Amino acid sequence: MQQENKQTEMMTMKNDNKPKKVLFGTNGVRGIIGEGMNPELVMKIGLALGSMIQGRVAIGRDTRTSGEALAAAMRSGLLASGCDVIDLGILPTPALQYLVREHYDGGAMITASHNPPDYNGVKVIEGDGTEMDDTRTIALESLIFSEDITMADWKNVGKLTDESDRIEEYIRAIISHFPTDCCRNMIVVVDPGSGPAAATTPEILRRMGCTVHTINGRFDGTFPGRLPEPSPEGLSLLSETVIATGAAFGVAHDGDADRAVFVDETGSFMNENLTFAMLARAACATHPGMVVTPVSTSDVIREVAAGYGCPTIYTPVGSISVARTMLSLIQKGETVVFGGEGNGGQIFPNHQFCRDGGMTAAAMAELVAGSAQSISSLADEIPSYTMIKEKIYSDDPEGLFLKVRRACQSLEIDETDGIHIRWGDAWALIRPSGTEPFIRLYAESRDPKRAEEVKDYILSLL
């Protein structure tokens, strides 16, 4: 079994003394059903998580066909460890995170996010609603591998409660951030991709005053309309429906609705760094403060934030790093107004410290309704950048990093995550992939030719 291979891998890991996650990736553990991912593994995660939390744990799932089998295993593990389990049913990951922060000691979301239908997995949520960080995840993993878990005796096994109607609280929490009826008469098309946001995003926008048309709006783990990844190719029906209905824009979510991507009123897919910049600009214009994002994000964010005197703070790649950095800056007394990644995952600190696709859709609706412009003309006000991404397969990533470090030592280098090299008019980043055996290369400049040159230069070093 995959987890056993991973365990061997963990035992034989040389080179680096720092403990690393082996089962969990950037956002939870994922695998193919019947192969790496199965109820046995999920029950072990439930037992280990339950012995760490020892309290009331909420569980939720996305719409995948394997969701109920894995949720049952998670319930079983948690209950046997002595935790009370609150089943929230099918709901977006950010809805579970919001409800955990409000009511429970922890949470587990059965989801494989944007992965294809044959995948499933688990995201682990702390009592404050954030995803579990690396240190705690490593502790959780060592409990899973050790199998040294004490089960509760017959008097102390947990109780199961169904509180699936709580999804209404999440919807209300989002609309509470916007003026009543702020989007009156605006037409919007929502594509939840047969995922859990079918129960939330159309309702949120409707209550804000929008006229909402929904496609792929029924829970369906076979994903008949499109795959869980909201790629431009998968969103042709959304584009057609936007044009046919004269909508102001269309919004689509990934499989667990922590991300939101947009098509404009002409049906064109909008780059996620661009929509991030539009929302960051709106946040900075209302309330100056810091913007937090990973080192892999486009410079466009830095540029729009700087236009309002707002600094941009960089973190390692991954929404957990962004969310935790935002929290710790606020705890130090800083004002943080916005955060997120250039993949449609946006974090609104006045709402909660995780990516929230429903909140992102609502914020975009308010932004467009409140301006006298179309979404595409709002987008035209954002400076344009060219970012190139490549994958490099290598047996010796450390050797490659050393070469780049040597060749670029006279340049501005940042090692927050991988190696980030900055020239006056461009930057490049190389970093090992969090989940697969290759190195990612990013190169960006306002000038497309310059982005190409920078990419070619780094490739020539490798």
Residues in the site for Mg ion, rule: CB under 5 A?
Answer: 113, 254, 256, 258
For 26, what's the count of Cα atoms within 13 Å in the CB-facing half-sphere? 13
Nearer to Mg ion, 113 or 325 (CB): 113
Nearer to Mg ion, 256 or 356 (CB): 256
End-to-end CA distance of the chain: 35
User: In angstroms, what is the minimal distance from the CB of 128 to Mg ion?
Assistant: 19
Nearer to Mg ion, 195 or 202 (CB): 195
- Amino acid occupying residue 72: A
User: In angstroms, what is the minimal distance from the CB of 229 to Mg ion?
Assistant: 9
Please tell me the distance from the alpha carbon of residue 346 to that of residue 360, in angstroms, as a whole number. 6
The answer to whether residue 377 is catalytic is no
Q: What is the DSSP string of 231-257?
A: -GGGGHHHHHHHHHHT-SEEEEE-TTS
The residue whose Cβ lies closest to Mg ion is 113
Please tell me the distance from the alpha carbon of residue 180 to that of residue 420, in angstroms, as a whole number. 44
| 3-class secondary structure, 53 | helix
User: In angstroms, what is the minimal distance from the CB of 383 to Mg ion?
Assistant: 28
Nearer to Mg ion, 83 or 90 (CB): 90
Q: Which of 113, 194, 239, 298 is catalytic?
A: 113
Distance of CA 440 to CAs 64, 99, 249, 394, 430, Å? Answer: 29, 35, 32, 11, 6
State how far Cα 286 lies from the chain centre: 25
Distance of CA 416 to CAs 17, 107, 137, 294, 429, Å? Answer: 19, 29, 20, 9, 11
Please tell me the distance from the alpha carbon of residue 123 to that of residue 36, in angstroms, as a whole number. 16
Nearer to Mg ion, 254 or 366 (CB): 254
User: In angstroms, what is the minimal distance from the CB of 84 to Mg ion?
Assistant: 27
Please tell me the distance from the alpha carbon of residue 305 to that of residue 335, in angstroms, as a whole number. 13
User: In angstroms, what is the minimal distance from the CB of 113 to Mg ion?
Assistant: 3
List, by residue number, the catalytic residues: 113
